[in-house]
Amino acid sequence: MLTVFRNHYFPWQWPVYLQRPLSDINFVPLVNTIKLRFGSPVDLWYQSLGNVVWFLPFGFGLPALSKRHLGAFGVGWRAALLSLLIEGLQFVLYTGVADIDDVIFNTIGGLVGYFIYRVLFGRSKRR
């Protein structure tokens, strides 16, 4: 709700913008994040660290809830795929800025969450 469906609560309220040019998407990694160094420090921290923190529960929870063993690669590509889905919805619904930096930081957050899980629970799940 926070990242994609900000202004609308029901699916029939979602405006879809299929005519947006792909040039609205930032495909160049870290350009916008580096630009934020010269602006507000809050924006820089939220853009980088905030996106990492938002995906920590995904990286921690996915191996904890999965019935099969998921390694770092399995969690990482799933975090990247979920982040790409969010960015794609933000683009099509015009509710945010589609940016490769978000995908990068979200994926890092998922991996950090996975490694926290591994540190706390080791290789085997304890249920």
Any idea where the domains of the chain sit in the sequence? 24-121
Close Cβ partners of 74 (under 8 Å, ≥ 6 residues apart): none
In one letter, which amino acid is 43?
A: D
Q: In the 8-state DSSP scheme, what is residue 19?
A: T
Query: Residue 98 burial by CB count (10 A; 0-12/13-18/19+): exposed, middle or buried?
Result: buried
Question: Which residue ranges of the chain lie beneath pLDDT 70?
Answer: 1-12, 123-127
At 26 the three-state DSSP class reads strand
